[in-house]
Amino acid sequence: MNIGSKMASNIQPGEELLRIENISLSFGGVKALTEVSFDIKRGEVRAIIGPNGAGKSSMLNVINGFYHPQVGEVWYCGQKRKGLKPFQIAHQGIARTFQNIALFKGMSTLDNIMTGRSTHMRANMLSQAIWRGAAEKEEIKNRRFVEEIIDFLEIQSIRKTPVGRLPYGLQKRVELGRALAAEPVLLLLDEPMAGMNVEEKEDMSRFILDVQSEFGTTIAIIEHDMGVVMDISDRLVVLDYGKKIGDGTPEEIRNNQAVIDAYLGVPHE
């Protein structure tokens, strides 16, 4: 059990896991996010959608601590977050995948996923140097878990292939595996299906739903394919020009006039 699962242990499914309060983020004169507030409940699939440049990826970067908003608060597991570095937030159980694949190209699939497991490993340098004993035991224990993920994602055959040589769809899958290896409480997926064909999208959607139901992982997903998003998510947040213009179930969002306007391109007054 690592810090993340401990922090989230008293939050039941359906209760608030993460709350974004009044976040504003700007880079110089460019306002990426303006006064955005929403929450993510434990166990749900929460989609963040919006046209290009709406601030979706910036939102994920705020959630995992890569960007520090000028205004606003992030509450996680009932605690207000302050001054944490991204790797500390990873240790609290937030994992993510990236819009442009960010795998470790020189390493094998197995090593990539094992790296995702590093928040669960704590053998010190000396025992790792000696290897026999504690370090080896820990390695094997975590390898067993990683093999379960490899089975789950059906990537057994590429276990020892350097990821740089894999096709795009498989790289996306390995990246999901690397995030899953951390056994995250909250999993952030940044366009996991971009550039995929219908079949690959179906596979990926199935994996995402399986992750939610099998591991009870809470998922925040950015995706452009409306068909997919409406199908797999429980609730959606819609951003446009850095502002929240809609929040609710797929049904509510479908009938939200502001959202329809944003997607169809009604001029802003």
Partner 1 sequence: MFYRQAGDFKTTYRDDIQTFPLKQDRWGYYIVLAIAFLVVPFFINDYWTSAVMLPFLIYAIAALGLNILTGYCGQVSLGTGGFLAVGAYGCYKIMTSFPDLNIFVVVLLSGLITAAVGMLFGIPSLRIKGFYLAVATLAAQFFLVWLFNKVPWFYNNSASGQISSPERSMFGYAITGPNADAPVRYLFCLTLLVMLAWVARNLTRGRLGRSWMAIRDMDIAAEIIGVNPLRSKLSAFAVSSFFIGVAGALFFSVYLGAVEVGEAFGINQSFLVLFMIIIGGLGSIFGSFVGAAFLVLVPVLLKNIMVNWLGWPTDIAVHIEFMVIGGLIIVFLIAEPHGLAQLWRLAKDKFLLWPFPH
Residues in contact with partner 1 by CB under 8 A are 64, 66, 85-87, 90-91, 95-96, 98, 102-107, 111, 114-116, 118-119, 121, 123, 125, 128-131, 135-136, 138-140, 143-144, 147, 178-179, 182
State the nearest-atom distance from the C-beta of 198 to partner 1, in Å. Answer: 28
**For strand 79-80 and strand 71-76, is the pairing parallel, antiparallel, or unpaired?**
antiparallel
The first and second tokens of residue 22, run together, are: 């009044």
Please provide the DSSP assignment of 26-87 as one string.
EETTEEEEEEEEEEEETT-EEEEE-STTSSHHHHHHHHTTSS--SEEEEEETTEE--S--HH
Query: For residues 120 and 235, which CB has a smaller minimum distance to partner 1 in the complex?
Result: 120
Cβ contact 246:258 at 8 Å? yes
State the nearest-atom distance from the C-beta of 197 to partner 1, in Å. Answer: 25
Query: For residues 64 and 212, which CB has a smaller minimum distance to partner 1 in the complex?
Result: 64
Residues 267 and 34: their CA atoms lie apart, in Å, by 19
State the nearest-atom distance from the C-beta of 156 to partner 1, in Å. Answer: 13
State the nearest-atom distance from the C-beta of 88 to partner 1, in Å. Answer: 8
Residue type, 38: F
- Segments of 194-265 assigned E as strands: 218-222, 235-240, 243-248
State the nearest-atom distance from the C-beta of 24 to partner 1, in Å. Answer: 22
